[in-house]
């Protein structure tokens, strides 16, 4: 199968974003649990709003705060992505064997209920 290289086009519109991962924790000498500090890995990609057509055709499942991420980096469903101080959770991924760029649907994390990585 022929692979299409869209990464060059993507570079014009990409911006940095962080993937926040929690790497467990440790117990101190008294046996108290000390949570780990979040590990941030910076990637680059294009973050775009979800189109109005997609929001309408899917019966209003998507909101105006949801975003699409187009990147060459690989992510898993449930990854926490932070863009300019706003947190999103990777909700859907679409693997494209014919392209070097992968689209991900990002759902905004509600401010009063932040995602806790386990």
pLDDT digit string (tens) for the chain, length 118 residues:
566 666 777 778 888 999 988 777 788 888 888 877 888 889 999 888 887 666 566 556 777 788 889 988 888 888 899 998 889 999 888 777 777 888 899 988 876 654 555 4
CATH code of 48's domain: 2.40.10.270
Helix (H) or strand (E) holding 87: strand 86-93
Domain extent for 79:
7-108
What was the pLDDT predicted at 44?
Answer: 92
Contact between 72 and 102 (Cβ < 8 Å): yes
Asked, for residue 117, whether it belongs to a domain, the answer is: no
**118 within a domain of the structure (yes/no):** no
Tell me, yes or no, whether 13 lies in a domain: yes
What pLDDT score was predicted for residue 17? 92
Domain membership of residue 114 (yes or no) is no
Angle at 89 between CA 87 and CA 91, to 5 degrees: 155
Q: Does residue 100 sit within a domain?
A: yes
Residue 49 inside a domain? The answer is yes
Count of domains in the chain? 1
In sequence order, what are the beta bridge partners of 92?
105
């Amino acid at each position: 199968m022929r692979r299409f290289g869209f990464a060059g086009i993507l570079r014009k519109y990409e911006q940095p974003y962080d993937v926040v991962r929690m790497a467990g924790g440790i117990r101190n000498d008294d046996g108290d649990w000390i949570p780990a500090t979040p590990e941030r890995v910076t990637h680059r990609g294009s973050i775009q709003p979800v189109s109005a057509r997609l929001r309408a055709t899917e019966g209003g499942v998507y909101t105006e705060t949801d975003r699409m991420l187009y990147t060459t980096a690989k992510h898993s469903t449930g990854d926490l992505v932070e863009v300019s101080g706003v947190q999103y959770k990777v909700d859907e991924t679409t693997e494209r064997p014919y392209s070097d760029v992968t689209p991900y649907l990002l759902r905004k994390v509600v401010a009063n209920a932040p995602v806790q990585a386990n």
